[in-house]
Structure 1
Amino acid sequence: MPRLDSPASAPASPPVYKGVFPVAPTVFDDQGRLDLAGQRRAIDFMIDAGSNGLCILANFSEQFALTDDERREVQDTVLDHVAGRVPVIVTTTHFGTDICAARSRAAEAAGAAMVMIMPPYHGATIRVNERGIHEFFSRVSDAIAIPIMIQDAPVSGTSLSAAFLATLARDIAQVSYFKIETAQAAAKLRELIALGGDAIVGPWDGEEAITLIPDFDAGATGAMTGGAYPDGIRRIVDAYVAGDGEHAAALYQEWLPLINYENRQCGLAACKALMKEGGVIGSDLTRHPFAPMHPATRDGLLKVARRLDPMVLRWGK
C-alpha cells in the first residue's frame, strides 16, 4: 500500500484559472429565438481564437433577457458542446439566495468550472447590507464545490470595499475569484491582493479590457472581456505574462481603439456585429427593448476592426 504521505494519496490541488476568459454572447435568430446551432459556432470560434476559457450567461450575454428555461438550455448546450476543451464559468446571479444557490448547483452538475455572481440587488434602490451579502455568499458556497467569482461591477449599485471582499475570501470556502470592474480598478485590485493574501486565488480584470495593462500591473491574473477578439487579447496577455511588458504595451496600443469602440460605442452588441460580419453567426440581433445598432456605428466598428484583421472577420468565410 502507498504511504499516507505519498504523492499518490495526496489530495489534488484545485486548478487555478488564469488568462483570457471572454464572455460568450447568447445567439438569437432574426425572430429573437435561441439559435443553438449559432451558439455552438460562436463557442467554436472563441476556442479557436485562443480563449483560455469562457464565460456564459453574463450581462454581456443578455442573461437578463432570458427565461429560466432558456438559461438552462444555453447552459447545457454550451457545456455539452465544449466537452471539457476549456473551462467554462457560468453566471448564476439572482437576488434570491436559494435561487442563486440552485442555479449554481445546476451549473456545477452540468460541468461548470466556476460560477460568477454579483451581490444581490434589485432596481435602483433595493440593496442588501454587508451582513446579508456575507450570508448570501456563505449559503451559495455551502451548496457547491466549485469556486465563486464575485463580480464587482457598477451595474449592481452595491459598494464592495476591498476590505470587505478580502473578508469574504477569508471567511467563505468557495469565494476566491474577483472580477473588478469599478472605477480605479487597478488600485482596488492592488488593495484586495494585499489584504486577502493567499485567499485571493484569482484577481481578474473586466470591462472589455479597457483597463487591462494597469490591472495586470496591479496583479490581475485573468481577464474577462468581450467575445469577439480573444486572439488580440491573448497576444497582449501572453506577452505580459512572458515578462515582455514593452511588447504587451505596444500590442495594447494597437488593439485599444477596438477595445474602446466596443466599450464606449457599442457595448454588448459589438461582439454579435463582428461575429455576423465574419460568418460566425447568422444574426446579430439583441433582444428588444435594445434597439438595433445604428448603421453608422456598425460601419465605424468594422472600420476599426478591419485594421487589425482579427480572426472573427474571417473565421466563418
Structure 2
Amino acid sequence: MASSAPYRGVFPVAPTVFDADGRLDLDGQRRAVDCMIDAGSDGLCILANFSEQFVLTDAERDQVLDCVLEHVAGRVPVIVTTTHFGSHVCAERSKRAQDAGAAMVMVMPPYHGATFRVPEPQIYAFFKTVSDAIDIPIMVQDAPVAGTPLSVPFLAKMAKEIEHLSYFKIEVPFAAAKLRALIEEGGDAIVGPWDGEEAITLMADLDAGATGAMTGGAYADGIRQIIDPYVAGDREAAATAYERWLPLINYENRQCGLAACKALMKEGGVIRHETLRAPLPPLHPATRAGLIEIARRLDPVVLRWGK
C-alpha cells in the first residue's frame, strides 16, 4: 500500500529504547526503526502509549522525536503522538512535530487519571485548537484508556468541520461496527479509518472498511501478509495469513502488552536491552518464553535482523 497521503497500510508503533538503567538509548532507537522499516512498515508511529510516552520527560520526547525523524530521513512517513490534557500544550507539541518532519499527529481526547474529563464542546474546541496550529493531518485515537466516549455522530461532525482532523484509530470494543458506522456517517471526511489494538480485530476491521493498521512494532512483515492480499482482492489468502499470525497477535495483546516488541527485538539482536522504564515491571520469564516460542514458528524479520 502506498505510503503517501492519504496514508494507508501498516504503521506500527516504535518502542522507546532504554539502556539497562532506563536511560534513553538513541543508538538502539535507530536500530529499532531500521528493523521496522526493513520488515516492511509503510510508516511508523512514535511517542504513543506503546512507546511508553507517559514515562518520558518533555526533553526526552524532543530527543526521541528529533532522533527518529532525522534517522528516518523521509524513508517512510512518521506519525507523532502529541497527546496532552492542555489544548495549547497539545497544539505546541503538534507544531513542534510538524516542524521536525512529522507526516501526521495522533491525539487522544483530553483526559487525566480516572475522573478528569471534559464534555463534547470542550473536546471539539481542543481538537480545533490543535488543527489551527498545524497543516498536517490529525488522527483521533479512540481507545478505552481515555475513558472518554466518542460517539460516531460526534466524530463525524469533527471530521466534517475541523480542517485537518480526518484519521481515526478505533480500538474500542466492537471496533468494526464503529468503523463501519463512522465511514457511513462521515463520508469523504473520513480519510483514514484505521485499526489498532495490535491488530487483534484486523480482519473484521478490514471488512468494515479500515484502510490502515497501527500495530505493535515487532512484526510489520506479518501484518503485511494479511493486509496486502486483502487489498489486492484475495480475502481468502488474507484470512489464511490472519489465522497463522493470530496466535502471536493474541499473545502480544493479552499476555505481554507493550513489552512484547522489546522482547522480540532483544531476542533478535536488534536492541541490547528490553528495559521497560520503572515502575513498569519486566515480563515474567515464562511469559517471555511463550512469546518467543510462538514467534519462532512464524520466523519474523525481527528475530533474524540483528544476527
Give the TM-score of the pair, scaled to structure 2.
0.99
Which of 59, 65, 69 matches 1:79?
69
Show structure 1 runs of 5+ residues with no match.
1-13
* 1:308 to partner: Cα distance: 0.4
Whole-Å Cα distance in 2 between the matches of residues 172 and 76 of structure 1? 28
Whole-Å Cα distance in 2 between the matches of residues 230 and 84 of structure 1? 18
Structure 1 residue 247 and structure 2 residue 237: aligned?
yes
Structure 1 residue 257 and structure 2 residue 257: aligned?
no
Partner of 2:80: 90
Whole-Å Cα distance in 2 between the matches of residues 114 and 161 of structure 1? 23
Whole-Å Cα distance in 2 between the matches of residues 291 and 147 of structure 1? 35
SS at match of 1:179: strand
Equivalent position amino acid for 1:208 in 2? E
Whole-Å Cα distance in 2 between the matches of residues 80 and 306 of structure 1? 32
Whole-Å Cα distance in 2 between the matches of residues 268 and 300 of structure 1? 15
* 1:15 to partner: Cα distance: 1.8
* 1:55 to partner: Cα distance: 0.1
SS at match of 1:284: coil
Which of 257, 267, 270 matches 1:277?
267
Partner of 1:100: 90
Which of 123, 131, 137 matches 2:127?
137
Whole-Å Cα distance in 1 between the matches of residues 299 and 196 of structure 2? 23
**1:87-123 CA distances to partner (integer Å, 9 max, x unpaired)?**
0000000000000000000000000000000000000
Show structure 2 runs of 5+ residues with no match.
none
SS at match of 2:79: strand
Give the TM-score of the pair, scaled to structure 1.
0.95
Partner of 2:5: 15
Whole-Å Cα distance in 1 between the matches of residues 246 and 283 of structure 2? 21
Structure 1 residue 118 and structure 2 residue 108: aligned?
yes
* 1:292 to partner: Cα distance: 1.1
Whole-Å Cα distance in 1 between the matches of residues 152 and 88 of structure 2? 26
**1:236-265 CA distances to partner (integer Å, 9 max, x unpaired)?**
100100000000000000000000000000
SS at match of 1:124: coil
Which of 53, 62, 67 matches 2:52?
62
SS at match of 2:65: helix
* 1:26 to partner: Cα distance: 0.1
Matched residue count: 304
Which of 138, 154, 164 matches 1:148?
138
Equivalent position amino acid for 2:188 in 1? D
Whole-Å Cα distance in 2 between the matches of residues 259 and 195 of structure 1? 30
Whole-Å Cα distance in 2 between the matches of residues 285 and 222 of structure 1? 29
| RMSD of aligned residue pairs (Cα, Å) | 0.6
Partner of 2:30: 40
Whole-Å Cα distance in 2 between the matches of residues 126 and 183 of structure 1? 22
Structure 1 residue 210 and structure 2 residue 200: aligned?
yes
Equivalent position amino acid for 1:204 in 2? W
**1:15-74 CA distances to partner (integer Å, 9 max, x unpaired)?**
200000000000000000000000000000000000000000000000000000000000
Runs of 4+ in 1 over 2 A off after TM superposition: none
Whole-Å Cα distance in 1 between the matches of residues 34 and 296 of structure 2? 21
* 1:196 to partner: Cα distance: 0.3
Whole-Å Cα distance in 1 between the matches of residues 5 and 15 of structure 2? 26
User: Larger Cα Rg: Structure 1 or Structure 2?
Assistant: 1
SS at match of 2:218: coil
Equivalent position amino acid for 1:267 in 2? G
Aligned ranges for residues 151-166 of structure 1 at < 5 Å? 151-166=141-156
Partner of 2:187: 197
